[in-house]
Amino acid sequence: MKELQKQIIHIVTERLNNYGFIKRSGDFFVREKDDNVLQQIEFQTRYYHPIKSIIPYVGVLYKDEFNLLRKYFDFHWPFPNYKYSTYSNALMNMMDRIDWEFAKGDDITPILNNMIESIMEIGISYIDYISDRKNLISEMENRKIGKSTSLKALPIAYYLEGRKDLALWRLNYYIQDFETYLSACIIEDENSHFTRGTRNELKDYLEFAEKLKKVMETESR
């Protein structure tokens, strides 16, 4: 399997280099979209002996968001850290397939060609789209990007686009949503695991909201 992995990464690296993507680790590739945006492709692997399964992920990193998190939100990742994503999604979520499978002795070239063509046709067009923050915001507003990402990423994105009013509105909206859900949990069982978990989530989010509000008061956009 190690030899198969080397063959796959060699071909992938060669092909992605033609599109401007540079390997930053064994399975992680990036290219500069512009001064503020890095585009990312990651190949996550799973083994089901004797099958090797590859799931490509595509994503973007906004440098101004990353630096904001480092400066004000106790985010201790060094920069550049190419494996941090503002948003990342599995390619298989965008098309009708699960993953790409390889086995020792297979002719891997046609399988890799199909995978890379799918990345270029579907994955790259998507990350080009969300490399414009207005489009990324639209994806979050329309719930095409999950709430677990949008909870913090959407208010920050509004702020970085100069829309403090929308950032504040969204923070208050999510806080009310948490409080409504917590009230329902308390009615069901005040001491349940779900109630305790929701209390902790609300506490964490209130702390995040207060920090972002202070940033918006002191930093101009």
Last residue of a domain, one of 99, 131, 163: 131
Say whether both 149 and 99 belong to one domain: no
Residue 152 and residue 106 in one domain = no
Burial of 177 (0-12, 13-18, 19+ CB in 10 A): middle
Are 106 and 121 within one domain?
A: yes
> Considering the chain, what is the average pLDDT of its residues?
88
Contact 50, 59 (CB under 8 A): no
pLDDT digits (tens, 9 = 90+) for 52-82: 888 999 999 999 999 999 999 988 877 667 7
pTM: 0.88
Asked if residue 93 and residue 156 are part of one domain, the reply reads: no
Range of 188's domain? 137-218
Tokens of 21: 């993507």
Q: Determine the Cα–Cα distance for residues 128 and 143; give it in Å rounded to an integer.
A: 19
pLDDT tens across 131-185, in order? 999 999 999 999 999 989 999 999 999 999 999 999 999 999 999 998 887 787 7
Clarify whether residues 195 and 127 are in a common domain. Answer: no
Q: Are residues 69 and 17 in the same domain?
A: yes
Looking at the structure, do residues 76 and 166 belong to the same domain, yes or no?
no
| Region for 143 from its dihedrals, namely left if φ exceeds 0, alpha if ψ lies in -120 to 50, beta otherwise | left
Judge if 108 and 148 occupy the same domain. Answer: no
Out of 131, 165, 190, pick the residue that ends a domain.
131
State how many domains the chain has.
2
Residue 78: cis peptide before it, omega within 30 degrees of 0: no
Judgement on whether residues 58 and 110 belong to the same structural domain of the protein: yes
